[in-house]
Amino acid sequence: MGIRERKEREKTERRQAILMAAQRLFNEQGFEKVSMRNIAETIEYSPATIYLYFKNKNELLFALQSQAFGQLARSFESVFAIEHPAKQLEAVGHKYLEFAFQHPELFELMFVMNGPMQAVEARGETTPWASGRAAFERVVQVMQHGIDAGVFTRTDNAETAALMAWSQVHGLATLYLRKRMMIFPEDRRQAIMEEVMALFAQVLQHGL
């Protein structure tokens, strides 16, 4: 009897439907419109029903965040075709920025919102933050490649160097997305960001 299997399959299908509805709300309406009631409405369920599939909103956001980090990590994959380590690292940085600009609301979920991380904390130390770690690991990999190739010689710690590069680009992205670039004229913001990216690439080579 495949009833048990069908039930399970249907259950995960409904779970996925909830996640997709939430993702759509994120992308189309912004994170502020992602309420349990709005999600419920788009899948034509009662708000209470969602709680049969997710313990609470934080867990739902966590699941969504994990998916989003998967997307980001996948978007990094193409850069492994590039050989020159410095160019490769630069490409990762631009992929990161591209993702941030194309999915600002998902980016917010991944790096700004409290909800998903509270879910991680609530789960205790048993389950680490796997999706975030996996995405970061790709950058570490790129950095290690540069160290092994003898292009980056000032450190042998790929993790620290990767975090430095990540922080640089992440800082730029968040300052922009959180509207803190308002100190610059609107028509100059894009150009300034590109200048910063170019300057950082140069600094990595020769210093400032």
Partner DNA sequence: ATCATAATGTGAACGCTGTTCATTATATTT
Partner DNA sequence: AAATATAATGAACAGCGTTCACATTATGAT
* Chain contacts with a copy of itself (rule: CB under 8 A): 111-112, 114, 117, 120-121, 128-129, 132-133, 136, 146, 152-155, 157, 159-161, 163-164, 166-172, 174-175, 178-180, 182-183, 192, 195-196, 199-200, 202-208
For the bound state, the minimum distance from the C-beta of residue 68 to a copy of itself, rounded and expressed in Å, comes to 13
For the bound state, the minimum distance from the C-beta of residue 180 to a copy of itself, rounded and expressed in Å, comes to 6
Torsion, Cα 179 72 154 146, to 10 degrees, reads -140
For the bound state, the minimum distance from the C-beta of residue 205 to a copy of itself, rounded and expressed in Å, comes to 5
Residue 142 burial (C-beta neighbours within 10 Å; 0-12, 13-18, 19+): buried
Cβ closest to a copy of itself, residue 31 vs residue 45 = 31
DSSP-derived secondary structure for 25-50: HHHHH-GGG--HHHHHHHTT--HHHH
Quick one: what does residue 167 bind among DNA, a copy of itself, none, with the CB cut-off 5 to 8 Å set by partner type? Answer: a copy of itself
CA atoms of 160 and 153, how far apart (whole Å):
13
Cβ closest to a copy of itself, residue 26 vs residue 152 = 152
Number of neighbouring beta carbons within 10 Å of residue 9: 11
For the bound state, the minimum distance from the C-beta of residue 68 to DNA, rounded and expressed in Å, comes to 18
The tokens describing 95, both together, are: 């992929």
